[in-house]
Amino acid sequence: MDLRALFLNDRVAAALVTALVGGGVVAAGWFWTHALSRRRDRQLRDERVSDIQRALLAEIRAHVAALEGQTLDDPQAREAMVARFAAGGHVPILPHDANDRIFRAIVEDVHILPEWAIDPVVRYYRLLAVRGALAQDIRATKDQPERATDMFRDYLTLNDETLVTGQRAMIVLTASLQGGRETVEALLAAAQQREAARITSTLPGELARLRAGLSKRSSDPRGP
């Protein structure tokens, strides 16, 4: 069969053109459908990430507010609380759970969070878990006052660390929801500046109290 004659045949040429056009349309449709599917998947993922961040932010904010009311910034007030605890005259309300219901519900999806949000969130909830375990240990050692008192001191310190970590997680999540990495970095830098200013403003007073305490002890005729 003469191939040249075959291709020059109008019917064959028309069928060939139709097949090529049809194949091109099918291929273009496949690529278009695939692109739309990927775009929809990205949108659903972004919505899921935003939903998770909002839920975590709400849970962390509620507990941080409670911690702010429990934290004692005055060292003397803290020592007075420890003394009352050691004497058995003050037993604080210790948590029975880690306040992490939302985190436990979405823990398998934590990996889809932005990289800058994962570390502060996971670190905060890890401290909550340690805090809850320590509270249980304190309750279990109520018949050993000295050990329980030492553990209570650690508990107060852990409260402070949990509060700071929770505040940082809130900053990161809020910034992430508002604008992404650049907003996160800007807010963290601003928070560091505020903390540095706070330390600068309170350090002279703390040093003065420390010197006064040392001077009082050195002048006490009874000695240390």
Cα gap 213→216, rounded to integer Å:
5
What does each C-alpha distance from 5 to 10, 16, 61, 88, 117 come to in angstroms?
Answer: 10, 14, 80, 108, 69
Q: What percent of the chain has pLDDT over 90?
A: 15
Cα gap 176→46, rounded to integer Å:
12
pLDDT in tens, 144-158: 878 888 888 888 888
Nearest to 59 by CA among 2, 15, 124, 14: 124
pLDDT in tens, 36-85: 667 776 787 888 989 999 999 999 999 898 888 777 666 777 777 777 77
81 Cβ partners below 8 Å, 6+ apart? 72, 90, 92, 156
Answer whether 0.85 is exceeded by the pTM: no
pLDDT in tens, 181-218: 777 777 777 877 877 777 777 777 766 766 666 665 55
Token pair, residue 81, equals 């609380």
Token pair, residue 68, equals 């702010």
